Amino acid sequence: MSLLVVGLSHRSAPVSVLERASLAADTQAKLLQDTLAAEPATEAAVLATCNRIELYADVDKFHAGVAELSTLLAQHSGVGLDELTPYLYVHYEDRAVHHLFSVACGLDSMVVGEGQILGQIKDALARGQELHTAGRLLNDLFQQALRVGKRAHSETGIDRAGQSLVSFGLQQLAAGADPGLWAQGKRALVIGAGSMSSLAAATLARTGVAEIVVANRTRSRADRLVEILQQGDDTTVRAHAVEMSAVGDELTRADVVVSCTGATGLVLTADALADALGVTLDTPAEPETVTAAPAPADVDQHGAWVENGSATSAPAAAPRRVTLPAQSTGPVKLALLDLAMPRDIDGAAHRIDGVRLVDIESLADASADAPMAADVDQVRTIVADEVAAFGAAQRAAHVAPTVVALRTMAADVVAGEIARLDGRLPDLDEKQRAEITQTVRRVVDKLLHAPTVRVKQLASEPGGAGYADALRELFDLDPQTVAAVSRADLNDPNRGRS
């Protein structure tokens, strides 16, 4: 196994860099294709969310793989390699497995314990399968990550440690008030109809808003989301869809706006928001200073803490400070939640009187101080156990084709010798021939049983990858025969189904 992941996330890079490095769907597809075309990689998958961009690959050379994957990420993100490199992290083999399993459990999420990442991992796997860039290793890895994530949520209380970005964002908009009471009677505008926007609409409905308006570039998707909202048994929310061209008018009637689209530019400008409220942009006040994402050096400390540290506290890292426009004061007339990356809503909305804006950057700041639940320790234990089990399974799978090839060779030898015996003793009757054949097969099976079982056991242990090579050398097995067994196993339509 030569698994390599190169990426950046909200833990390693400021939101401004993540925003510029975000990858559209077609760009992700091109990145995967170019990664396979590169010499070191034989498989590839991209996990791209609002707060992380990670490229997974099966490589045959570590240093060449790191250089190639880093260069490809820079080329396709549009952020220069020199600028991007300080924010990149690299994980290899078991550490890469540990990283993805931790991500799947929500340990590495902006809001610890949130479960939406499982859907995003599932989408990443589906994309790799559709483009035929995910082979044996990445199929096994991502499918197991999904199982580990589900296990963490079902066996522990990790859900109590965190929530979805939508719920957390609504809490921030409520500014300390009970979100349910805060939302009562409000009219919400949801811009977008993708997975995040759908989650936002469903969360708003459960929270208790009176009405939801959905705007989307493709009207049919907005209509479908409205239909789903109205079919919910746990809400009585009124919902209807509008064209994107109607967003300006809807702003004048909305109390809450949640936006998460795939647009590459702003969906709501500060001027449009000011016009909707009938106000002008305030003159920038004294800027406020907030804590930004940790510097790359601090990320190494965080990684060590996640793997080995306490569930209740992280090592104190010297925070960097960035300047944001001052948030307007006074009663909130319009609450804005921007969950898009790159952002949908102009950051200058901070300066509009009566507007409260919560975006990915402010969510990162707020979640940095969120308490860690005691259940996180239990999830870490699950991750460690699952990483060990996955490594053992992969090492055992590596030797399995060699064992099959050995038994196939032995069966061929038995068949050849029985054929020779038929030529020398043509007068044997069927019963005698069958008894001799069965006896020879039993002898061969008994001779091979102990070494093949033992080699599988040894291969599953750390450092056991060389046993397959030793078996091929000892029995002079044809490498092409072993490769053919591997291909047949990979092409098995029932393989990997759970």
Q: Choose among 1, 31, 202, 185: nearest CA to 93.
A: 1
Q: Is 50 a catalytic residue?
A: yes
Which residue of the set 5, 50, 53, 79 is catalytic? 50
Residue 462 token pair: 């750390």
**Which residue's entry shows tokens 């197991």?**
144
Query: Do 441 and 415 touch, CB atoms closer than 8 A?
Result: no
- Among 9, 7, 10, 8, residue whose Cα is nearest residue 366: 10
How many beta carbons lie within 10 A of that of residue 195, not counting itself?
Answer: 13
Q: Which residues pair with 91 in a beta bridge?
A: 5
The full 3-state SS of the chain, as one line of letters, equals: CCEEEEEEECCCCCHHHHHHHCCCHHHHHHHHHHHHHCCCEEEEEEEEECCEEEEEEEECCHHHHHHHHHHHHHHHHCCCHHHHHHHCEEEECHHHHHHHHHHHCCCCCCCCCCCHHHHHHHHHHHHHHHCCCCCHHHHHHHHHHHHHHHHHHHHCCHHHHCCCHHHHHHHHHHCCCCHHHHHCCCEEEEECCCHHHHHHHHHHHHHCCCEEEEEECCHHHHHHHHHHHHHCCCCCCEEEEEEHHHHHHHHCCCCEEEECCCCCCCCECHHHHHHHHCCCCCCCCCCEEEECCCCHHHHHHHHHHHHHCCCCCCCCCCCCEEEECCCCCCCCCEEEEECCCCCCECHHHHHCCCEEEEEHHHHHHHHCCCCCCCHHHHHHHHHHHHHHHHHHHHHHHHHHHHHHHHHHHHHHHHHHHHHHHHHHCCCCCHHHHHHHHHHHHHHHHHHHHHHHHHHHHHHCCCCCCHHHHHHHHHHCCCHHHHHHHHHHHHCCCCCCCC
CA–CA separation, 146 vs 45, rounded Å?
A: 15
Give the pair of three-digit tokens for residue 411. 């069966």
**Around 388, how many Cα atoms within 13 Å sit in the side-chain half-sphere?**
6
Distance CA 297, CA 315 (A): 13
Burial class from Cβ neighbours inside 10 Å (0-12, 13-18, 19+) for residue 170 reads buried
Q: Which residues are marked as active site?
A: 50
